[in-house]
Amino acid sequence: DTWRYAFEEAIDEVQGVFAQKFKEEVEANSDHEVQLFPYGTLGESADIMEQAQSGILQFVNQSPGFTGALIPEAQVFFVPYLLPQDTEELNEFFRTSRAINEMFPELYAEQGLELLKMYPEGEVAMTTREPVTRPEDLNEVKFRVMTNPLLVESYRAFGASPTPLPWGEVYGGLQTNIIQGQENPAFFIESTKMYEVTDHITFIGHNNFTTALMANQDFFDGLSDEDQQVIRDATDAAFEHILEYQDGLSEASLDAIREARPEVTITVLDEDQREPFRAAAASVEQTFIEMTGDRGQEILDQMKQDLDAVSVN
Ligand code: 6CS
C-alpha cells in the first residue's frame, strides 16, 4: 500500500531531503510505497497537520513553530538562547535528549500523533529592511513569526511588533511592506529568495530551527512490529543523513546569497551586542512557564539537564 507523507518545504529543501531519505529507506526495506507531498500541494502547515490527525495523511513533518499552537509545551524551542550554537553539541542533544525522545512523544500522543523524530534545520537569522544591531532597531518593525504565542512573546521582548503569519504570506508581505522582517535558517532565506525582499541578514545566535516528523497514531499503532521497525529505522537513517547534509549548508547558502545580491549585508552580532537580546530571554522563559505550568517546567528542566549532559564546556 501507499503511505502519504506531507512536509512544510520544497522537495530540495531540508525537510524534503529528509523525506526523500525516509522514502528511499522504507521502499528498500518493505513492500510499502511512500508518496511525498511538498509544501503547497496540500495547503499550509496547519492544513497538513489536520490531515494527519484525521488520518488522510499517514505522516506529517511540522515544526514546533506551528505545533506550539496545538501542544503548548512544544513552544519551549522558542525560549531564546536555550539551544547551543555548536553543531556537534546540538546534534548530540537531539540524539540523546530524554525530553525530546521520551517526554515529547507522550505530549504528541495526546494529540493522536506518534512523534518519530525531532531534528534541527540550522541557525536562525533575522532578515530586515534596515540594519539591526540593537533591540531599538526593531522598534516599529512588523516582524513576521510562525503562528506560535511564545515566538510572538520573544519578538515582543526583542523590541519588535511581532506578526504571526503562515508561511505562504511571508514573501508577498515583505514585498508589499505589510511586514518588514522575518526569521529563518540561511538555507531557507536563500532557497525562497527572501534576500530579494529584505536587505539585511543578522545573526544574534538566539536559536536553531527545530522541526519534527510524526505519524498518525492510529495508523502507526495498527502496523505490525516489523513495519513499525521499518519506520523507526528509516527515521533514524533520515536523521543521520540530514545532519550530514547540513554540514556547511548555512555557509554555502550565505555565499549563494552574496553572489545573487551583493548589496545584502550579513552580520553576526558579537557578544556585547547580543547582551540585550540575551537579557530578554529570561522574561520569555518566564512566560513559557506561565503558559504551560508544571508540565512545561518539567520539560524545560529536563531539556536543560539534557543540554548540560552534551555540553563540551
Ligand atoms: O518560516 C516558516 O514558516 C518555514 N520555515 C522553515 C525553515 N520551514 C518551514 C516553515 O514553514
Backbone angles phi, psi at 164, to 5 degrees: -75, 130
**All three cell numbers of 54:** 484525521
CATH number of the domain bearing residue 95: 3.40.190.170
173-189: per-residue pLDDT in tens?
999 999 999 999 999 99
Q: Is the CB of 13 under 6 A from ligand 1?
A: no
Burial of 90 per CB tally in 10 Å (0-12, 13-18, 19+): buried
Q: Is the CB of 195 under 6 A from ligand 1?
A: no
How many helices (DSSP H) and strands (DSSP E) are in the chain?
Answer: 13, 10
103-119: per-residue pLDDT in tens?
999 999 999 999 999 99
CB atoms within 10 A of CB 60: 27
Handedness of CA 241, 97, 268, 131 (dihedral sign): positive
Alpha-helix runs per DSSP H in 261-270: none
Bridge partners, 119 (sequence order) = 211
Measured in angstroms, how far is the CA atom of residue 230 from the centroid of ligand 1? 28
Q: Is the CB of 9 under 6 A from ligand 1?
A: yes
Q: What is the pLDDT of residue 34?
A: 99
- Mean pLDDT over all residues of the chain? 97
ipTM of the complex: 0.99
Number of structural domains (the chain) is 1
Q: Is the CB of 249 under 6 A from ligand 1?
A: no
Given the CA of residue 8, which atom of ligand 1 is nearest to it?
9
Of all residues in the chain, what percent carry a pLDDT higher than 90? 99
Kindly report the protein residue whose alpha carbon is nearest to atom 3 of ligand 1.
Answer: 167
62 touches 167 (CB < 8 A): no
Q: What is the pLDDT of residue 123?
A: 98
Kindly report the protein residue whose alpha carbon is nearest to atom 2 of ligand 1.
Answer: 167
Q: What is the pLDDT of residue 312?
A: 83
152-168: per-residue pLDDT in tens?
999 999 999 999 999 99
Q: Is the CB of 121 under 6 A from ligand 1?
A: yes
Q: Is the CB of 45 under 6 A from ligand 1?
A: yes
Find the helix or strand (DSSP H, E) in which 267 lies. strand 265-268
**All three cell numbers of 25:** 529507506
Q: Which ranges of the chain have pLDDT less than 70? A: none
Find the helix or strand (DSSP H, E) in which 65 lies. helix 64-67
What distance in Å separates the CA atoms of residue 32 and residue 233, rounded to the nearest whole number?
Answer: 14
Given the CA of residue 122, which atom of ligand 1 is nearest to it?
7
Residue 259 lies in domain: 2-310
